[in-house]
């Protein structure tokens, strides 16, 4: 079914990051500007967490915290599940499903090289299935 590296190759390895001391409101502004639903949290060139819309909804709004006063370090998800570029797409789907997460940071030699989302995984699977169907149609049609 392919590996994470094929998703990163197609979408690029660009990631958008913030520091742990960033105010939640600013992180939300960045997410809107970049049209993303999660940001990786980097401190001293090291991945220390991830902040997502889910974190905001569950740890700020529903807890009555103020987004203009709360720091990312206080609400980010720090117990990260990561994958490598050689991880299989099946493995990623399993991790996302079993852990109720939508984003997986991709690390190579403990360095962040990208992030994939459930949307990236679904797109990859659909594209792969289309390719298989086209090949089968050509084979059956004798082209």
What CATH number should be reported for the domain holding residue 46?
A: 3.10.580.10
pLDDT for residue 141: 81
Q: How many domains does the chain have?
A: 1
| Maximum pairwise Cα distance, the chain | 65
pLDDT band at 33 (very low <50, low <70, confident <90, very high): very high
Q: Which domain holds residue 61?
A: 4-141
Give the CA angle between residues 68, 14, 108 to the nearest 5°.
110
State pLDDT tens for residues 75-88: 999 999 999 999 99
Tens of pLDDT, residue by residue over 56-77, are 999 998 888 999 999 999 999 9
CB 38 within 8 A of CB 50: yes
Residues paired with residue 108 on neighbouring β-strands, in sequence order: 111
For residues 42-54, average pLDDT = 95
């Amino acid at each position: 079914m392919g590996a994470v590296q094929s998703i990163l190759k197609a979408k690029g390895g660009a990631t958008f990051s913030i520091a742990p001391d960033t105010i939640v409101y600013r992180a939300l502004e960045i997410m809107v500007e970049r049209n993303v639903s999660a940001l990786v949290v980097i401190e001293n060139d090291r991945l220390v967490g991830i902040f997502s819309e889910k974190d905001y909804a569950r740890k700020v709004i529903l807890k009555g915290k103020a987004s203009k006063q709360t720091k990312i370090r206080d609400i980010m998800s720090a117990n990260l599940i990561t994958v490598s570029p050689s991880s299989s797409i099946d493995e990623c789907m399993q991790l996302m499903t079993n852990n109720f997460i939508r984003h997986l940071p991709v690390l190579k030699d403990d360095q962040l090289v990208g992030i994939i989302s459930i949307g990236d995984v679904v797109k990859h699977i659909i594209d792969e299935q289309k390719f298989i169907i086209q090949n089968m149609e050509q084979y059956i049609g004798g082209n």
